[in-house]
Amino acid sequence: MSAGFNNLLWFVGVVEYREDGANDGRVKVRAFGIHNEDKNEVSTSDLPWAIVIDGSYGASSSIPDVGEWVFGFFMDGVDAQHPMILGRIPGINLQLPAEAGAPNEVSMIPTASVHKFGKPPMHRMISGEDAEIGQATLQQASKKNNIESATGETWSEPPIITPERNLDNRVYTSKNDNNFVVLSDSDDGEGTYILISHSSGSAVQIDSQGTVFVKSFGDTYNSSEGFTMNRTDKDMHTNVGGDWALKVERGSGKVYINGDLDIECENFNLTARGVANINAGTATNISGGKVGVFATADDINLAANANVKMKAGTALNFGGIYQQALFGDVHIDSYKMNLYSTAYTKITSLGTPAISTQTLPYPDVSHKGVEINSGALVHLTAPSVSMQGLAAVVNGTTNTTIAGATVDVKSSLLLNLESTAIANVKATTMLNIQSATVLNLKGGTAVNADAAAVNLGMTTGAATGSNATTLVTALATLRGTQVGFPAALLSITEVAAVVNPGDLPASRVGIGYTTGGNKATRRAPQATSRMNTTDGAS
C-alpha cells in the first residue's frame, strides 16, 4: 500500500454498477487498459468497489451514474484493488459508450446510460445548448398575460428564465438534469438570478431586479404552526379561477381599508349569529329588485332625525303601501295628519270586539266599530255624504248607502247637517229628534210631516223622551264598553328604540383613494340562495 501512495496508478474508466449494499456511495468502474473489456474475462461483479471522493465536504453528495466516464487513481498502485474517483469527465457522452455493440457483446450500450448518448457535456443552463429540452418550453407556453384584476387593471406573469450561455452560472442538478438549481452570476453583476426548476415546470425564481416569482403546475399548500405575516408596500391583486373560501377557526376577524371597499358578486349571503351593525357616517343606501326586512323575534325599529318617507308604485304597476297587523294595533301619533287620495278613501271595521291586553294608549278590551274623536271639530264635506246603520240613517242627495250596524253622530257643542240640495233623515222603525231646550224645524217653502199618525204638541214629549232614552241605551250596548280618552293617554308612548352606534371614528390616514368602474357579470347567477325569502316564509 505504501508503494501505491508513492506510485499512484491513474485511470479513466466507465461506471458499470452503483448499487452499493453497504450504502457507502461506492461504484464499480471498469478502468480502460487495466480491466479487460470482455465481461466474460472480468465480470462486473469482479470489479473492485471505487470510493467517490466528496470535494464538497458533505455539502453536496452525488454518485456518478452508470455509463458515465470518470477519472481517478488506485491507492495501491499497480495492485489496482482500491480505486478512488476524483471526478466525472464531461463530453465523453458524445462518443459511443463502452459496450456499444449487440447484446452479450463486449461493446453493448448499458440500458441505464442510453438516454445520455449525445448529451452535451455542460448543463443547458450554462451552455445554452438543448434549450428546447426539458421544462423550459412548457414554462414559456404556460405564461399568463393580461390577467384582469378586480379593479379592471391587467398584469402578466414574469417569464421564467430560459437556458442561455452563461459560463458564470453554477448549476446543481439531479441525476438526469430534470430538476436543477441555478445560481447565476456575472462579472458586472447584471443579469444575476436564482432559479429552482422542477421537471413538471413548477419553479421558484428571483430575477435580477429582486422580483420573486413562484409558479406551480400542481397544487400549492402553505401551512404554518406559528404566525404568518404578509405585507406589501404597494397594491395586491389576487385572481382565483374557482371558488374562494376563508375560515377563521378560532378568534375574530378584522378588515381595515383606508379607502373604498367594493364587493361584487351574484348572491350575497351574510349570517350573524349575534348582532349585525352597519354604521355609516354619511348615508346608508340599500337597493334591490326586492327588499325584505323580517324580525323573527322582536321589533323592527325605524327612527329618523328628520322625516320618514315611503313611496310605492308607478303609473304602470299601480303599486301601493300595504300594512297588516292581524293580532295587534296600528298606532299613528303625529302633530298633524293629512290623508289625501285621488280616487277614494275607505275605513272599514268588522266590529268584532277586541280581546287583546292592549293598554297603550288606552285599554281596548271589547272595543269595536269605527270611532272619530275630536276635541274641537269633525268636518265632513263632499258632494254626497251617506251614513247608514240599522238604527239611524243620514243620507245625502245620491242616497248611496254603506252597510253597517249603528251610526252614532254626536257633538257636545254643535252638530250641523247641511246639504245644498236635499237632506233626507230616515229610519225604518222610529225616528227620534229631541232637543233639551228648543227644537226648530224650518222650511223655506214648506215643512211636510207624513205618517199614519203625526203628533205635534206637549203630549209627545214624554213618549219622545222615553224613546230617545231607549235609543241611547241601545247605542251604548252596541258600542261596547268604551273607555274615555284622557289627554295623558292620547300620545303613543311606545316609540321606536334605536341603538346609538356612537361617533364615527376618525380616519387613520388623512387622504385615501377611490376606485370605480362597473363590471359585467361573468358567471350566471345561482339558481337558489340561502336567503331567497325575506317575508317570514321558511
pLDDT in tens, 420-467: 666 666 666 666 666 666 666 666 666 666 666 666 554 444 444 445
Same domain, 363 and 389: yes
pLDDT in tens, 273-318: 888 999 888 888 888 888 888 888 888 998 888 888 888 888 899 8
| Cα separation, 28 vs 72, whole angstroms | 12
Q: Which CATH number do you get for residue 156?
A: 3.10.450.190
Same domain, 140 and 206: yes
pLDDT at 331 over 90: no
Same domain, 494 and 358: yes
Q: State how far the alpha carbon of 314 is from the alpha carbons of 308, 309, 321, in Å.
A: 20, 16, 12
- 160 or 98, greater pLDDT: 160
Q: Answer yes or no: is 520 within a domain.
A: no
411-426 as b/e, with b when 16 or more CB fall inside 10 Å? eeeeeeeeeeeeeeee
Same domain, 112 and 131: no
pLDDT in tens, 178-194: 899 999 987 766 778 99
Q: State how far the alpha carbon of 7 is from the alpha carbons of 2, 13, 73, 74, 75, in Å.
A: 9, 19, 10, 9, 9
Q: State how far the alpha carbon of 151 is from the alpha carbons of 145, 156, 264, 269, in Å.
A: 16, 15, 11, 22
pLDDT at 405 over 70: no
Q: Residue 163 in contact with residue 125, Cβ under 8 Å?
A: yes
Same domain, 52 and 141: no
The residue length of the chain stands at 538
What per-residue confidence (pLDDT) applies to 266? 84
Q: Tell me: cis bond preceding 110? Omega within 30 of 0 counts.
A: no
Q: Answer yes or no: is 66 within a domain.
A: yes
> Which residue among 160, 189, 215 closes a domain?
215
Same domain, 69 and 37: yes
pLDDT at 399 over 60: no
Name the pLDDT band for 478 (thresholds 50, 70, 90).
low
Q: Which of 337, 308, 280 is nearest to 502 (CA)?
A: 280
Q: Assign 140 to helix, strand or coil.
A: helix
- 211 or 338, greater pLDDT: 211
Name the pLDDT band for 140 (thresholds 50, 70, 90).
very high
> How many domains does the chain contain in total?
3
| Cα separation, 393 vs 388, whole angstroms | 4
pLDDT at 321 over 80: yes
> Which residue among 185, 200, 215 closes a domain?
215
Distance of CA 481 to the CA centre of its chain: 57
Q: Answer yes or no: is 392 within a domain.
A: yes
Q: Assign 83 to helix, strand or coil.
A: strand
| Cα separation, 190 vs 171, whole angstroms | 18
Average pLDDT on 51-65 reads 82
What per-residue confidence (pLDDT) applies to 465? 44
Same domain, 58 and 143: no
Same domain, 63 and 146: no
The residue with cell 508503494 is: 3
Name the pLDDT band for 344 (thresholds 50, 70, 90).
confident
Distance of CA 384 to the CA centre of its chain: 60
Same domain, 334 and 360: yes
Name the pLDDT band for 211 (thresholds 50, 70, 90).
very high
* Phi then psi dihedrals of residue 142, to 5 deg: -95, 10
Same domain, 264 and 364: yes
What per-residue confidence (pLDDT) applies to 145? 94
pLDDT at 142 over 80: yes
Same domain, 296 and 371: yes
Q: Answer yes or no: is 173 within a domain.
A: yes
Same domain, 71 and 210: no
pLDDT at 26 over 50: yes
What's the number of CA atoms in the CB half-sphere (13 Å) around residue 480? 17
Name the pLDDT band for 46 (thresholds 50, 70, 90).
very high
* Structural domain containing residue 21: 2-121
Tell me the range of 264-268, 462-466, 528-532 where mean pLDDT is highest: 264-268
